[in-house]
Amino acid sequence: MRVLVHAQHLSGVGHHVRSVEIARGLAEAHEVFLVDGGRPVPRPPASREPERISLPRLARGVDGIQPVDPARELGNLLAERREILCRAARRLAPDVLLVEHYPFSKWELEPELTAMIETARGANPRLRVVCSLRDVCRRTRHESPGAEGWSERVVRVLNARFDAVLVHADPGFTRLEDHFEMAGRIEIPVRYTGFVSEQPGLASAGRDGGFVLLSTGGGAGSSELVLRCVDAWKRLHAAGAVGDRPLVIFCGLFWSEIDLARIRLATAVGPFELRPFGSDFVAWMAAADLSISRAGYNTCTNLLQTGCRALLLPDPRMSDQLFRAQRLAALGLTNVLAQGALDVGSLADAIAAALRRPPPRHGLDLDGVRGTRTLLESLSPRAARTPATVAGA
């Protein structure tokens, strides 16, 4: 098949990381093109890479989407993006167009997405347009319901422009109807791929245990939490509760220079190690005695993949994190500390308790890359091979 993947991260890095994993898995057997139009995110090397379609870069600011390059004007940038996408759709005439998260969110990009879909259908009438969706899908703070309503708009667009929805989750963990009240009005197939899990690969943490890992993904707005965790670690270390373990802190990709300076100062003395946001994160998690983190999709699938003990501190600004954290805790797979209990004393107690718990064991499906590929092959009339049955589909 020829597959065009439209994925646009605006705030964090999660959507990009998941989409890259899917595109790389598809590229093992198919011709794959990946749209790249957000801030750069370091990724580990892979045996097969999709071809990138570079767009002028966007990010989300306090007033909505904005150019990453401050010299660019937003209207002209959006018009240029739309033209590049339509030109690519005409040239490639893809068999499958995989669109990440729209129409459940990313409404700011609707003009370019609609134009791309219509152009691709004109170039290939047998095109299949598929929505690529994470496990927990709820209205975010960026979508204003309007007169039509959020759910109604999502259903209308799905039924009019899409051919299927792929939910990147194990249906035994959660299903679309747990979060989307109008799931029963979706007229196109909804299928579950399993979780899309990044593999540790060949990278090494350079040590085998004896440390605790602290991370916040992209890190926007999380520097205060990191500083509280640093104070909690100092308290535990002074009490002899964590031995000589260091706290290894992976810096947020989008931390400001002020954030970095404050955290460097706070960790200048004591058992701490700062590491840049990088492509070896999963290898470090696999070797850690404990991971302390937010509860984003990719971090949680990393935890399930590596079997690392975890303390989750879900970000209340994110519509998906609290449910995911609480569900993992209910399955006995993690410890969770809610936003209202993030004082230094509570953090120290929670870290000590999480270190005492046994490593998690589960039977959740983490083969979402294979599941996505198999389901897309079953949808496309130009599939390279007869698809196998996907558990939970």
pLDDT digits (tens, 9 = 90+) for 261-320: 999 999 999 999 999 988 889 999 999 999 999 999 999 999 999 999 999 999 988 899
Which H or E run includes 121?
helix 110-123
pLDDT digits (tens, 9 = 90+) for 223-268: 999 999 999 999 999 999 999 999 999 998 889 999 999 999 999 9
**Mean pLDDT over residues 50-79, rounded?**
95
- Residue 238's pLDDT is what? 97
- Residue 217's pLDDT is what? 85
Please determine, for residue 29, whether its predicted confidence score (pLDDT) is greater than 70.
yes
Q: If we measure between CA atoms, which residue out of 387, 5, 1 comes closest to residue 196?
A: 5
Q: Do domains 2-197+366-379 and 212-356 have the same CATH topology?
A: yes
- The percentage of residues in the chain with a pLDDT greater than 70, rounded to a whole number, is 95
Q: Which residues contact 283 (CB under 8 A, 6 or more apart)?
A: 200, 201, 203, 204, 205
Dihedral of the CA atoms 182, 315, 335, 263 (nearest 10)? 160
Which H or E run includes 192?
strand 190-192
Of 23-27, 142-146, 148-152, 188-192, the poorest mean pLDDT is in 142-146
In the structure, what pLDDT confidence band is assigned to residue 330 with cuts at 50, 70 and 90?
Answer: very high
Of 148-157, 186-195, 204-213, the poorest mean pLDDT is in 204-213
CA distance 316 to 349: 21
Q: Which residues contact 109 (CB under 8 A, 6 or more apart)?
A: 8, 65, 102
In the structure, what pLDDT confidence band is assigned to residue 162 with cuts at 50, 70 and 90?
Answer: very high
CATH match of 2-197+366-379 with 2.40.50.140? no
Q: If we measure between CA atoms, which residue out of 331, 393, 335 comes closest to residue 363?
A: 331
Backbone angles phi, psi at 33, to 5 degrees: -125, 125
- Residue 389's pLDDT is what? 34
- Residue 140's pLDDT is what? 85
In the structure, what pLDDT confidence band is assigned to residue 70 with cuts at 50, 70 and 90?
Answer: very high
CA distance 25 to 195: 13
- Residue 386's pLDDT is what? 39
CA distance 237 to 256: 28
In the structure, what pLDDT confidence band is assigned to residue 388 with cuts at 50, 70 and 90?
Answer: very low
CA distance 128 to 97: 6
- In this structure, are residues 219 and 11 in contact, taking their beta carbons and an 8 Å threshold? no
User: In the sheet where 96-100 sits, what is the strand order?
Assistant: 51-54, 31-36, 2-6, 96-100, 128-133, 164-167, 190-192
Dihedral of the CA atoms 162, 168, 170, 171 (nearest 10)? -30
Residue 169: CB atoms within 10 Å = 28
pLDDT digits (tens, 9 = 90+) for 81-114: 999 999 999 999 999 999 999 999 999 999 999 9
- Residue 340's pLDDT is what? 79
Please determine, for residue 344, whether its predicted confidence score (pLDDT) is greater than 90.
yes
Please determine, for residue 387, whether its predicted confidence score (pLDDT) is greater than 60.
no
pLDDT digits (tens, 9 = 90+) for 46-59: 888 999 999 999 99
pLDDT digits (tens, 9 = 90+) for 122-157: 999 999 999 999 999 998 888 887 768 999 999 999
Tell me the pLDDT of the chain averaged across its residues: 92
In the structure, what pLDDT confidence band is assigned to residue 28 with cuts at 50, 70 and 90?
Answer: very high
- Residue 278's pLDDT is what? 83
Q: If we measure between CA atoms, which residue out of 252, 228, 229, 251 comes closest to residue 242?
A: 229
Hey, where are the domains in the chain?
2-197+366-379, 212-356
CA distance 134 to 196: 9
* CATH number, domain 212-356: 3.40.50.2000
CA distance 293 to 148: 37
CA distance 55 to 37: 5
Helices (H), 49-109: 74-92
- Residue 221's pLDDT is what? 78
- Residue 33's pLDDT is what? 98
Please determine, for residue 12, whether its predicted confidence score (pLDDT) is greater than 90.
no
Give the burial string for 351-364 (b: 16+ CB within 10 Å, else e).
bbebbeeeebeeeb
